[in-house]
Each structure stands twice: as structure tokens, then as C-alpha cells.
Amino acid sequence: MKKHTEILKENVKNFIHQGKQFPEERALALLTVHRIGELTGTGRLDFGGSEYTEAEIHWKDPVKMKKDDQYGWWHLTPGSYLVEFNETVGTPAAARFYLQSWEKAALNAVTIPFCVIDSPRAPLLSVLYIGGEGVDIKENARLAELGVLD
């Protein structure tokens, strides 16, 4: 497990707070929200890739609760979004990572699909699903966990 923690610390860059994002009791890194967007256009997928287009993204502005607040909140209704994390990920030749919802986020009906990361990601993006009655997410909130696959 110590080896996994070391691999994470060597490959996760742009983190905000090492103590909060690399918990000692678990070999993982908690990733934080940089920005959240909505897909506003239609993307296109084809077999060969020559007709591929990415969907348009409208990045949402976080809203401050009080005028003097340092950080704002995204008030998200149920649906799908795109999240960009503050952190970036490099990958050494002998490691692959997994990305999934952080357990506290999942308890609030926030889902990030499980995925495997086997190449550097900067920026690191994922789909974000909001269920239930919606959720409020503060700027830089911990949202996903990144671990090392054996």
C-alpha cells in the first residue's frame, strides 16, 4: 500500500492540500473540482474518426453565497455535467490508475463513472451525474478518488 501512495504522490500534480487529499489510512488521492460545465451541443462519433466532433460545453460560474466569500458554489439540478479537476495525472510506465466517485459524494447522489487512466491527463475531465434532488458543490470541493490498479 505504501508503494501505491508513493506512486500517487509522484503522479498527481496541482493538488491543493496534501493532508486532505492523500489520506494516510487509504492509498488514494482525493481530486477536487476546478470547474463544472453542461454539454450544450451535440457531439458526433463515427467508426473511423474523421467525422468526430466534441459536444460544446458551457462552463458554469460558481455563485458566492455572501459577497465576501472567497469561494462560490455550483447549484446543480439532476442531470449530467462535465467536471474538470484541479489536479492533473501523469502515469509511469508500470502504473495505471482508476477514477471513481468519492464515497461522500456518492452518498449525495453524485456519480462519476469508474474509468481507468493509463496515459497522462491534463486537464483531467470526467462526466458527472447528479441524482436525487440535486446538490450544491463548492469550488475546490473533494469529489472523486484516484487509486492505483494492481
What's domain 2-41+53-149's architecture?
Distorted Sandwich (2.70)
Confidence bin at 56 (pLDDT 50/70/90): very high
- Between 1 and 39, the more confident residue is 39
Beta carbons within 8 Å of 77's beta carbon, 6+ residues apart: 130, 134
- Between 38 and 120, the more confident residue is 38
Please check the confidence at residue 82 and state whether its pLDDT lies above 90: yes
Give the mean pLDDT of 89-101: 87
pLDDT at res. 95? 84
Give the mean pLDDT of 17-36: 93
Q: What are phi and psi of 46, to 5 degrees?
A: -135, 175
Give the mean pLDDT of 90-100: 86
122: left (phi over 0), alpha (psi -120 to 50) or beta: beta
The answer, as to whether pTM is greater than 0.95, is no
In a 13 Å sphere around the CA of 45, the CA atoms on its Cβ side amount to 0
| Closest to 101 measured CA to CA, from 89, 112, 109 | 112
Please check the confidence at residue 69 and state whether its pLDDT lies above 90: yes
